């Protein structure tokens, strides 16, 4: 199920038009995909492809990709280390997007 974010989709999200950082973008896209799938655990469908990936799952991956990529080289995008809400905000958004799909901790 790896590779659910294509390089083209990742670059579109990050507004990158050149090929200078393709390897870095793909690596971070793969990490974002793996993290979101791990977060979903058993609720992640092993048959998902780039064509069948639910929109909310793809969006969660793209949010995490942006969080992983944007601070590199952009001083204005760096989270304030004193303000933990800036660090937690992307993960709260991801959790909200995936809440209906995630396996409940309460049985």
- 103 part of a folded domain: no
CB 90 within 8 A of CB 63: yes
Q: What pLDDT is stored for residue 20 in this prediction?
A: 94
- 1 part of a folded domain: no
- 13 part of a folded domain: yes
- 43 part of a folded domain: yes
Q: Kindly report the pTM of this predicted structure.
A: 0.77
**CA-wise closest residue to 2 among 50, 67, 63:** 50
Q: What are the tens digits of pLDDT across the range 8-27? A: 999 999 999 999 999 999 99
Q: How far apart are CA 26 and CA 8, in angstroms?
A: 9
Domain that holds residue 29: 7-98
Q: What are the tens digits of pLDDT across the range 45-94? A: 999 999 999 999 999 999 999 988 875 444 455 455 455 555 566 777 77
- 107 part of a folded domain: no
């Amino acid at each position: 199920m790896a590779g659910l974010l294509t390089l083209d989709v990742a670059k579109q999200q990050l507004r990158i038009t050149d090929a200078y950082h393709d390897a870095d973008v793909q690596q971070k896209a793969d990490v974002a995909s793996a993290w979101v799938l791990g977060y979903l655990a058993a609720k992640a469908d092993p048959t998902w492809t780039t064509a069948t990936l639910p929109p909310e799952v793809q969006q969660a991956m793209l949010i995490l990709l942006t969080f992983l990529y944007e601070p590199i080289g952009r001083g204005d995008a760096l989270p304030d280390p004193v303000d933990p809400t800036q660090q937690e905000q992307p993960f709260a958004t991801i959790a909200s997007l995936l809440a209906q799909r995630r396996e409940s901790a309460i049985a």
